[in-house]
């Protein structure tokens, strides 16, 4: 029931904004009002979490009280502004305007989205990054009732931006479960689709062009696969396309304090979500600055610019301060930042990296083709044959590696259509937005390090390109062109909906289980059965099935011992959240703390923590650890137990 609090708060906020807007000369409309409500709700999550964290009140009661206050406040504003009735009437009017064929399309899209929702609810998180840091940090926050840094073997848990995980934390505390963790990405996908259609309309797309833009974004293979996980690229995409929407709106209609504040919210929440947002947002920020300089006086530029900067700073101040306190820089250690970004080393990198990011979407199950792509890159750009970055891996249905070949073909097709039918468009914003979006891909490619897993990082670019595709197909005068394209893209999405390698609705493996089809290596076989039938304790190991038995046996030992204080001595590459998940911590009452961490984190260690069991993955055959005897060995996991813990590690 507590989950109703954020749902109702968002709904009332949305209807309030829409009702107020309907009384204005240039209303934002349903979709932009929805996006403003999402931004305000996101800001509430971020700032509310920071405030509660200061008093170590990130608990179920604290979060519920915050949302209850938010609901009361928004209801009072809605009542005072008399906005509920006009807001609801505008929504109902919009629903009634949907045509029969449009309703059929939206029904098909809804079936896909609801299917993904079922998968998201059924499958526990199994993504490697999520097990390393996304979910691990959430577990630490829940245990500590605070966002303060803590000892950990994997420091990106502390240094990476935090917004997506704050959303997971709120859902987890309100439901006392992590079963809704995947919904942050799924909801961000829904929000992104709404923003895509709004942007397409602002760029001049007709109704079926807007639906084609929707279909483009909804059918992205990487997007479909990520929508049921706890990664954060859909969240980044949502804030980026929302930022794009309001910059287009400002370009067409001018700005005011409300629009400037809205732009600040989108930029600030994006920066609070993931480091890749920075290069993605740079071209849009440049476009906005150019328009300000061209159209407005210095006083307006400074006033609204300060407002945007203030909003960004307010949203990110807590996260930046914690990193400054620990690492002396707001984005984490200098080694961490340099490991994830580079400005390139000359003209070769400037040309190579965009080409490589594009080509990695065209891998196949055939090594001769993938090796040919690598050979082509080395030959054209005269690279060292040992260049480790030049690697093309194929995994069409895996959330870390899947390519988007059809959509990357449609990118140049969109440009060709715009050039051919240039005279049919009266919306100059389309041309500027297209140029800016190309720079989004270029700047991202230039700054972000290139690697075999970059396909997942490219999702925000394709989402911001979707409105261009919708506007481009709207220029085709064949009556049913946009509709046919939209329906075909929905059909093309089905393989990724059904055959996700780590969360399959229909499993692909050679056995006779229900909801299973035969498979060979060419088709990305799954390691588990269908999410509708398989046990969560199997699904959580979908990427690492070899780890299941050791983790299961070690956790059973902990439960049987009755120990409530468990220490971890693990390496940075170990999947920490699996320990939390298997021990159902902190809900089970078991406290978990890392005993192996960098010197900078010593200040956060609890000197009074006395573990009665230590789980170690890097101890090999050691017989003692911290004065505790080895009491079990399960694969790579060594278990040490006793009541004589000593904080100084053994010298052996």
Question: Does 518 share its domain with 583?
Answer: no
Handedness of CA 236, 571, 124, 363 (dihedral sign): positive
Looking at the fold, whether 557 and 571 belong to one and the same domain comes out as yes
Which pLDDT score, from 0 to 100, does residue 561 have?
95
Quick one: pLDDT at residue 295? 80
Backbone torsion region of residue 382, taken as left when φ is above 0, otherwise alpha when ψ lies between -120 and 50, otherwise beta: left
Which pLDDT does position 345 carry in this prediction?
A: 60
Q: Which one-letter DSSP state was computed for residue 150?
A: -
Phi, psi of 121 (to 5 degrees): -80, -30
Q: How confident is the model at residue 651 (pLDDT cuts 50, 70, 90)?
A: very low
Structure confidence at residue 158 as a pLDDT band (50, 70, 90): very high
Whether the predicted model's global pTM rises above the 0.75 cut: yes
444 within a domain of the structure (yes/no): no
- In angstroms, rounded to a whole number, what is the distance separating the alpha carbons of residues 585 and 144? 12
Cβ neighbours of residue 443 under 8 Å, at least 6 residues apart? 279, 280, 282, 283
Dist CA 502 CA 227 (whole Å): 13
Phi, psi of 516 (to 5 degrees): -135, 140
Let me know whether 556 and 634 are in one domain: yes
Claim to verify: residue 579 and residue 609 sit in the same structural domain? yes
Sort strands 628-634 and 637-641 into parallel, antiparallel or unpaired: antiparallel
% of residues, the chain, pLDDT over 70:
97
Q: Is 378 within the bounds of a domain?
A: no
Last residue of a domain, one of 517, 543, 569: 543
Yes or no: say if 196 and 214 are a contact pair by the CB < 8 Å rule.
Answer: yes
CB 172 within 8 A of CB 142: yes
CB neighbour list of residue 218: distance below 8 Å, 6 or more residues apart: 109, 112, 113, 189, 193, 224, 489, 490, 493
Residues whose CB falls within 8 Å of the CB of residue 523, separated by 6 or more in sequence, listed in order? 365, 508
Query: Does 557 fall in a domain?
Result: yes
Domain count, the chain: 2
Q: Which helix (H) or strand (E) holds 615?
A: strand 613-616
Name the pairing type of β-strands 613-616 and 624-625: unpaired
The predicted structure's pLDDT at residue 506: 95
Domain contains 629 = yes
pLDDT(100) > 50: yes
DSSP class per residue in 351-383: HHHHHHHHHGGG--S-HHHHHHHHHHHHHHTT-
Residue 562 inside a domain? The answer is yes
HSE at residue 581, side-chain half, CA atoms within 13 A, is: 26
- What the block records as the tokens of 182 is 């995947």
Average pLDDT over residues 350-364: 90
Min mean pLDDT across 153-162, 221-230, 298-307, 354-363 is at 298-307
Do the domain assignments include residue 62?
Answer: no
The average pLDDT across 89-107 equals 93
* pLDDT band with cut points at 50, 70 and 90 for residue 271: very high
Query: What's phi and psi for 646, nearest 5 deg?
Result: -125, 130
552 and 613: one domain? yes
Instruction: Looking at the structure, tell me whether residues 536 and 600 fall in a common domain.
Output: no
Residue 344 has pLDDT above 70, yes or no: no
Using CA atoms, how far apart are residues 501 and 494, in angstroms rounded to an integer? 14
Enclosing H/E stretch for 594: strand 591-594
CB atoms within 10 A of CB 265: 27
Q: Are residues 551 and 522 in the same domain?
A: no
Q: Is the pLDDT of residue 387 over 60?
A: no
- Indicate whether 560 and 618 sit together in one domain: yes
State whether 511 and 592 are in the same domain: no
Distance CA 17, CA 22 (A): 9
Q: Which domain holds residue 582?
A: 545-641
What is the C-alpha separation between 316 and 270, in angstroms, rounded? 10
Are 553 and 524 in the same domain?
Answer: no
pLDDT tens digits along 23-51: 776 778 899 999 999 999 999 999 999 99
pLDDT digits (tens, 9 = 90+) for 427-450: 688 999 999 999 999 999 988 877
The Cα–Cα gap between 559 and 551 comes to: 12
* Of 168, 89, 174, nearest in space to 125 by CA: 168
Kindly report which listed range (56-60, 405-409, 519-523) carries the lowest average pLDDT score.
Answer: 519-523
Of 601 and 521, the structure prediction assigns the larger pLDDT to 601
What residues pair up with 341 in beta bridges, in sequence order? 448
Check whether 424 has a pLDDT greater than 80: no
Cβ contacts of 242 within 8 Å, gap of 6 or more: 35, 38, 39, 191, 195, 266
**Position 634 in a domain:** yes
Give pLDDT, residue 648: 79
Phi and psi, residue 368, nearest 5°: -65, -35
- Asked, for residue 628, whether it belongs to a domain, the answer is yes
């Amino acid at each position: 029931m507590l989950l109703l609090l954020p749902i109702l708060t968002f709904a009332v906020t949305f209807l309030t904004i829409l009702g107020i807007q309907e009384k204005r000369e240039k209303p934002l409309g349903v979709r932009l009002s929805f996006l403003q409500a999402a931004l305000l709700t996101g800001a509430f999550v971020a700032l509310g979490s920071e405030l509660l964290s200061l008093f170590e009140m990130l608990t179920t009661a604290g979060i519920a009280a915050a949302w209850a206050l938010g609901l009361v406040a928004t209801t009072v504003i809605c009542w005072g502004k008399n906005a509920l009735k006009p807001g609801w009437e505008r929504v109902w009017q919009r629903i009634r305007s949907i045509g029969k064929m449009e309703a059929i399309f939206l029904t098909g899209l809804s079936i896909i989205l609801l299917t993904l929702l079922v998968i998201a609810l059924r499958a526990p998180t199994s993504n490697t990054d999520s097990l390393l840091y996304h979910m691990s940090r959430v577990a630490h926050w829940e245990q500590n009732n605070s966002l303060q840094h803590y000892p950990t073997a994997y420091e990106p848990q502390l240094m990476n931006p935090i917004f997506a995980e704050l959303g997971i934390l709120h859902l987890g505390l309100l439901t006392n479960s992590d079963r809704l963790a995947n919904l942050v990405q799924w909801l961000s996908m829904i929000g992104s689709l709404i923003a895509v259609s709004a942007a397409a309309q602002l760029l001049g797309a007709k109704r079926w062009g807007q639906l084609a833009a929707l279909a483009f974004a909804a059918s992205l293979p990487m997007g479909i696969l990520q929508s049921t996980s706890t990664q954060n690229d859909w969240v980044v995409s949502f804030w980026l396309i929302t930022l794009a929407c309001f910059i287009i709106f400002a370009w067409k209609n001018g700005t005011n304090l409300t629009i400037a504040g809205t732009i600040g919210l989108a930029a600030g929440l994006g920066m609070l979500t993931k480091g890749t947002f920075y290069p993605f947002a740079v071209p849009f920020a440049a476009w906005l600055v150019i328009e300000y300089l061209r159209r407005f006086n210095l006083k307006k530029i400074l006033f609204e610019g300060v407002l945007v900067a203030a909003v960004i700073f307010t949203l990110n101040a807590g996260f930046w301060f914690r990193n400054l306190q620990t690492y002396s820089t707001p984005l984490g250690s200098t080694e961490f930042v340099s490991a994830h970004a580079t400005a390139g080393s000359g003209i070769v990198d400037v040309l190579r990296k965009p080409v490589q990011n594009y080509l990695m979407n065209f891998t196949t199950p055939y090594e001769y083709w993938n090796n040919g792509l690598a050979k082509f890159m080395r030959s054209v750009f005269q690279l060292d044959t040992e260049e480790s970055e030049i690697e093309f891996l194929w995994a069409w249905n895996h959330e870390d590696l899947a390519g988007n070949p059809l959509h990357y073909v449609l990118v140049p097709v969109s440009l060709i259509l715009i050039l051919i039918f240039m005279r049919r468009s009266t919306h100059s914003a389309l041309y500027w937005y297209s140029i800016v979006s190309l720079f989004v891909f270029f700047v991202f490619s230039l700054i972000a390090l290139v690697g075999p897993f970059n396909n997942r990082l490219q999702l925000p670019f394709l989402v911001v390109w979707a409105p261009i595709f919708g506007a481009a197909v709207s220029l085709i005068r064949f009556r049913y062109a946009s509709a046919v394209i939209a329906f075909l893209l929905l059909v093309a999405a089905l393989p990724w909906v059904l055959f996700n390698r780590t969360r399959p609705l229909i499993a692909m493996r050679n056995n006779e289980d229900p909801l299973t089809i035969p498979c060979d290596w060419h088709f990305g076989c799954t390691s588990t059965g269908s999410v509708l039938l398989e046990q969560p304790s199997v699904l959580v190991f979908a990427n690492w099935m070899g780890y299941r038995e050791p983790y299961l046996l070690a956790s059973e030992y902990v439960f049987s011992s009755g120990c409530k204080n468990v220490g971890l001595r693990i390496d940075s590459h170990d999947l920490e959240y699996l320990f939390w998940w298997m021990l159902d911590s902190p809900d089970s009452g078991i406290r978990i703390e890392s005993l192996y961490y960098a010197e900078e984190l010593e200040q956060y260690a609890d000197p009074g923590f006395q573990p009665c069991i230590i789980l170690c993955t890097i101890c090999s055959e050691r017989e003692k650890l911290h004065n505790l005897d080895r009491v079990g060995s399960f694969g790579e996991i060594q278990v040490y137990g006793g009541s004589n813990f000593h904080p100084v590690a053994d010298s052996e």
